[in-house]
Each structure stands twice: as C-alpha cells, then as structure tokens.
Structure 1
C-alpha cells in the first residue's frame, strides 16, 4: 500500500529507458571512433611513405625500364657457323663478255665472298673451301685502258647492326709497248681498295665506325691467275677475287706504264 504523498515509480520502465539511452550512447561512441581510427591509419601510412619514399621511386623506375627495354637477346646477334646460308644466298653469276668490239675495252670482275668460319684458310682459291662460303656480289664493270672502274658494295649483317662498305677503284694499264709479231704487253691492274664498317647498338649514342682495309698498288698477272684479297670484319671472313678480261683485238699504243 502506497504511502500518502509518494509518487509511484516504475522501476522496470526506468531500467528499460536506461538501456535504451545506453544503446544510443554506445552507437554514438562507435560512430565517432571510426573516423578516428581511419585518420590514424592514414597518419601511419603517410609516416611510412615519408621514411621509405625511395622504395616507391625504385619500384616505379624498375617498372618503366622493364616495360621500355626488352632484355631478351635477339634470335641472331651475329653470323654463326651454320646460318650464313639463311642470311644471304649466292649472287647471280656474272660472266665476261666475249664480244668486246672496242680494242681498248677491258672488263673487271670483283667477286665478294663471305665464309661461315673465320678460321678457314682462304688465302688462295680452292673449290672445296669456296663452296662453303656464299657469293655476296659479283659485278662486272667494263672500262677502257687507262680509265678507272669503280665498284661500291654494301653488306649488312647481324640483323642490320653491322654495315660493311667496300669501295674499289681499278684501272687497267699496259706494261711496255706492243711490237709487231710479239705477244700483247702485260696488263696490270692499278687499284685502291677500302673496307669500312659501321655498327649501330642501342647502348651507343653514336655508331661505331672503323677502317679495316686501305691498300693501293699495282697487281700483275691478274689476267692469267686473278688476284685474291682476304680481310675480316668483326670475326666475319671475306675474300675478294679480282679478275680482268680484255678484248681479243690488238691493243692500242696508249695507257701504258713505263717499262720496268
């Protein structure tokens, strides 16, 4: 029985109300804690990046380099012993003309051959050894006695990285004078030969250029036996065979050298 003057209270209602208020307070605390935790993580990440920023730069540089440069070796970086035939085939054979109506006419033939092994002995023509090599070019140039014949050849090897330029100036001349009833004077070949190379590589800012052969002089007995010149360019072995053929008509009395 309630005492007079007291206000009745509902304990359960007060307890429920306190629980509801308590839940509301917990929700507000959680909501305010989430931004704080997120801010803390950002601060820690920022502090780590400041201490280790160089790692990010290195990783980015590695990514750029690996995407920009292919480090895998090319399928062919140089001419090997077994793949010369795959790179170049024999040039068409060029024969001398047997119908030179001009008595002063002389033909010069220059046969450039590449061998698969730079250790081969190719100082003198040999059918078996020469069959292993490949004829790159065989131009025949017609000139007249005392006049220059020019042969310029360019060869590219190693996927185009190596360029070889050959320049030949050949001038046929007679030795002595023609005498009635005597054989024709000997024919000599005055020549200037230069072989240069140019190599391009991705790590070089400028191409590398070299001179491998620079010679000049008079060559005798070329009409009878020919003359072979051997040279190498970066372990690539070449031979250059020089031959001359003149008209069957009696030669004129000009373009002769002095008697020895």
Structure 2
C-alpha cells in the first residue's frame, strides 16, 4: 500500500507540473499576441493612401499603459488634418457617418468604430506637436499636447509649524539679557533681527531649575515659523 501511495503522489505532482507549464505557455502567448499587434495612422498628415495598404505611419506600443500612440509634429495647425487608423485588416473611424469628428480638446476620448470609412477624425487643437493615443481594448482614441515644455521640479515643502525653544540661564552670574541667534542659510553672518530676540521674565516657565548645584531660569519661547524659502 505504501508503494502505491507514493506512485500516486508522483503522478499527481507530474500532472500539476504539466498543467502549470501549459498555463504559463498560454499566458505568454496571450501577452505576446496583444503586444505584437500593429496599428497604423492614415490621413492628410500621415500615409495618404487612405486604406489598409497605408503603413508608413505605424503606432508605437506603450507597454506600461497598454495603449498605442503616435507623436506628430505639424508645420501649421491650419488646413486639413483628417485621419483614421487601421490594424492592417480593418479601418477604424468615427461613430457618425454623416460628418467628421473634430477633436478640439486634449484628453477627450472618442469611439473608434470598425469599418467606418465614410468619415474621419480631424485634429483641431492648437499645438503643433501632439500625441495621438489609441486603446485597442476599449477602442477609444484621444489626443494629448506634446508641445508643453518640461518644468523644473520643485523641492517638496513641509507645512510650517511653530517651534518651541527652551533656554536655561543661571540665576546667579547669568546673562543680563537672554538673546537667541540663528545662522543665515547662505552666510556665516549671525542674524539677530527676528522676533523674540530678547527674552524677558514673562517668558520664564521655571525659575528654580537645578542642575549640578546651579539654579537656572528656564525661558520658553514659541517661534512663529514661515515656510522655508531658498535663497
């Protein structure tokens, strides 16, 4: 009985491994087929063949988003800028068969319908450089501005909060006045012209603090802070 049990166990393991290998092969095939699909743009600013033979403007595939895109640079935004897309077999155009669809705003999605060849999409935005996007899963098409200049990254700022500062001054032979100093951020010069330079007895929170047989007055000051500004 023990021998048969071991034999059954080994067979079960073999079956499980075979199924896992089959599933992994299927998954790899699915991913490969999706990414390998090629889409093309045809139209006034692209391949002017205006059918599935026009393949001079293939779209790129963004593996991060799963979308297809094409970066276009125009010499002028005036004139005709009509286009459709195709996958080598079928053209995709606007939902309407009565009129062209004008894309006059960025990030607005439109349906791209299979075998709609009567009309086309028209680029009507203001930027000379734009990116045409296509989601093959939902069959949506949209445009983003590709002309914006990159902005310099800014340092993250932490919301300012008040800082509580404590100073201990000996009761005997201590400072006549208690002043606080801070360093400027870009020089070695001491800066004293800030709120709370000179502390008075109204700031004393404890007058009999003892340390090493010395009695201190402890001053408590709340410094109102403002966001840090780089000089």
TM-score interval for Structure 1 and Structure 2 normalised by the shorter chain? under 0.3
Give the TM-score of the pair, scaled to structure 2: 0.26
Give the TM-score of the pair, scaled to structure 1: 0.24
More helix by share: 1
Greater relative contact order structure (CA < 8 Å, 6+ sep)? 1
